[in-house]
Amino acid sequence: MDNYKFTVNEEFDVQLSTEAIANLDLIELSDGGYHLIREEQVYRIELIEADYTNKFMVIKVNGTPQRIQIEDQYDQLIQKLGLSVNASQKVNDIKAPMPGLVLDIPVTVGQEVKKGDGLIVLEAMKMENMIKSPGEGKVKAILIDQGAAVDKGQILIEME
């Protein structure tokens, strides 16, 4: 039987089996919210945000926001072994993946960036390409200017 671990607001954990989840007294309401009865307590639940890739959601329970991180049996095994699938990747330098023309630089020196944040808009072969951050970091230096022509492999941004 599979067990799921729910970490609520990074404060406490709740373990539930697949069977226990299936047997929850949960009713979907017409306004998109849910009505849950558990251990003779009644809860009004609203889904605010769900990120299925990173396995977390934000819900309101009786009007109070709660951030819930979800771990299945495999996530728990990875944690137990001391490994981390979602470990943040530190970024060093951002290099031009192709020759092109810098159209826009939507970041500034000192700005904190996360994985997927847009760093540079590069025009190559008449197409606009957003160069995105491959991980987390802080912009240390921007080595090119808007309108500059760049070569493949040229360092565009230094990160720290």
Q: What is the pLDDT along the chain (160 residues), one digit of tens a residue?
A: 688 999 999 889 989 888 888 888 999 999 889 999 988 899 999 988 888 778 889 999 999 999 999 988 888 887 777 665 444 556 678 888 889 999 999 999 999 998 888 999 998 877 888 888 888 889 999 999 999 999 988 999 999 8
H/E/C letters for each residue in 42-94?
EEEEEEEEEECCCCEEEEEECCEEEEEEEECHHHHHHHHCCCCCCCCCECCEE
What pLDDT sits at residue 1? 63
What is the fold, at CATH topology level, of the domain defined by 93-159? OB fold (Dihydrolipoamide Acetyltransferase, E2P) (2.40.50)
Tell me the domain boundaries of the chain: 3-80, 93-159
